[in-house]
Amino acid sequence: MKRLLRFITTACMAAGIVLAGNSTVGASDTQALDPAKSTSAKGPDIPTQNDSQNAVQSGSTTKVNVDSQGVIVNGYDVVAYFKQGKPVKGNPAFESTYQGATYLFASSVDKADFDKDPAKYAPRYGAFCSYGVTMGVLADLEGPDAFAVYKGRLYLCGNQGALKEFKTNIDSNIEKADTNWRLLAVP
């Protein structure tokens, strides 16, 4: 846990320095990136990028969080989050590729819906933890259950604690994550 906090603090400080150097964020936004100023006493555990996960470059513009076979969201059907409101394991028989990642679907209908408009269903921030991106960190997902579909977009979080923090002020957190993602998503 101490190692994780040290990593997050270091990453947040580096993000703050980069953001301040680029003059894209005001002082109040930089302070919000500091995990020590979290509104909860302990704060959520944000999982780090582990060896079985890779950040893949899609062209030269976006990173995506995939496993060693290039599969995103641990093989869960992203369309199911919207249609069924829960994670559903995808089937390798129904797959599509988008932005350098392989997506698996539970049915041919879900695959067809995705293929019509992949940007509608693709998780925000390349399937990295949305709360982590809010803090300027690319963090892994521990499982498929920490998610929110908000204003027609899929936001995944590393765990339930991170999801709870992300949802406490979701509009502000999305704004911060969008700003950070522009810096984190490029090489």
Q: Would you kindly state where each structural domain of the chain is located, as residue ranges?
A: 43-184
- Residues listed for the chain: 187
Rounded to whole angstroms, the Cα distance separating 19 from 35 reads: 16
State the Cα angle at 121 between 63 and 155, rounded to 5°: 65
pLDDT of 167: 97
| DSSP category for residue 1 | -
pLDDT averages per 10-residue partition of the chain, 187 residues: 44 40 34 35 45 40 88 97 98 96 98 98 97 96 97 97 97 97 86
Q: Are 120 and 50 in contact (CB under 8 A)?
A: no
The pTM score is: 0.71
Q: What is the pLDDT of residue 91?
A: 98
pLDDT value of residue 102? 97
| Cα–Cα distance, 54 to 71 (Å, whole number) | 10
Residue that the structure tokens 């991170």 belong to: 162
Report the distance separating Cα 62 and Cα 31, nearest Å.
26
CA distance 46 to 129: 8
pLDDT for position 187: 65
Helix, coil or strand: residue 29: helix
Structure tokens at 157: 């979080």
What pLDDT was estimated at residue 119? 96
Residue in 129, 103, 131 with CA at minimum distance from that of residue 50:
129
